[in-house]
Amino acid sequence: MRMNAKAAAPELPAFQAFQFAFARHIRDPKVNPCPRGVPARRMKIYNELLFNNLEGFLLACFPVLRQILGKRKWTALVRDFFAGHRCRTPFFRQIPDEFVQYLQTGRGVRETDPPFLFELAHYEWIELALSVSNQDTPAGIDPQGDLLAGVPVLNPVRSLLRYAYPVHRIGPRFKPAAPAPEPTHLLVFRKMDYAVRFIHLNPVSARLIALLDAGNLTGRQALARIAKELKHPAPDTVIAGGQEILENLRAEQAILGTCRR
């Protein structure tokens, strides 16, 4: 005779049942009652301590989002994250990573959300993500190499971003209700002194970075391809302007040099 799987499941030992009840209450004390035998006053202190610690890590990473939402909506958002998201890492510094994942895949869009909520959060998070990256600088770079004749080497600690909203301008006095007519392109990278730098790119510069990302085109080849895509009547003009862009990016340490041959 087949047994009902639910009925056959063994009961949890008392200490484990208490642990689960304790954790459920900490995550969402309004929904889950305080475990029996725990003084309410002490439990309240413990609840506030853990929630405040979590909120503190998020506040350090998302200050503009907190300003935009205001205290009530921000607290509700953090509480919902704490109650419903299952983190996959034990490291405190990765709590913001989990928060971004929660906004992108776990929470879904709410009617009362600012339309730019996820993009703004991602924009604020990327600085932390790059600042703690353990990506190494590749060997075999000529810092003074010819950026047109050689293959430019991009800073390995970088991210080329494309947003529908001008996230770098959003703040309490600027809250766009709709996407901008043109997307916002940003190059974010970590300099040698570990400072994270943001550069606002035009579409041509963003395309140039995207072409160089594969690491198999010389600067001249990448710029010639752009000139062809633009159907520009004077490709040499595009290449000359592009060379200036490449040199500026090298001065900023977004480009580290060229591959040694």
Residue 57 CB neighbour total at 10 angstroms: 17
121 neighbors 99 (Cβ within 8 angstroms): yes
What CA–CA distance (Å, rounded) separates 257 from 140? 10
Q: What is the 3-state secondary structure (H, E, C) of 160-187?
A: EEEECCCHHHCECCECCCCCCCCCEEEE
pTM above 0.75, yes or no: yes
Tell me the β-bridge partners of 196: 190
**What is the pLDDT, as a whole number, of residue 34?**
74
What CA–CA distance (Å, rounded) separates 226 from 217? 12
**What is the pLDDT, as a whole number, of residue 90?**
65
What CA–CA distance (Å, rounded) separates 170 from 110? 20
Query: Radius of gyration over alpha carbons of the chain, in Å?
Result: 25
**What is the pLDDT, as a whole number, of residue 17?**
66
Surface-to-core class of residue 105, CB atoms within 10 Å of its CB (0-12 exposed, 13-18 middle, 19+ buried): exposed
C-alpha separations of 115 from 34, 63, 175 in Å: 37, 18, 9
What CA–CA distance (Å, rounded) separates 224 from 218? 10
Question: Residue 256 is inside which H or E element, if any?
Answer: strand 255-259
Q: In which residue are the tokens 């909520």 written?
A: 117
Stretches in the chain below the pLDDT threshold 50: 1-3, 5-6
**What is the pLDDT, as a whole number, of residue 191?**
96
238 neighbors 227 (Cβ within 8 angstroms): yes
- End-to-end, the C-alpha distance of the chain in Å comes to 74
Token representation of residue 171:
């703040």
Token representation of residue 46:
């413990």
Q: Residue 138 region, left (φ>0) first, then alpha (ψ -120 to 50), else beta?
A: beta
Cβ contacts of residue 50 below 8 Å, gap of 6+? 26
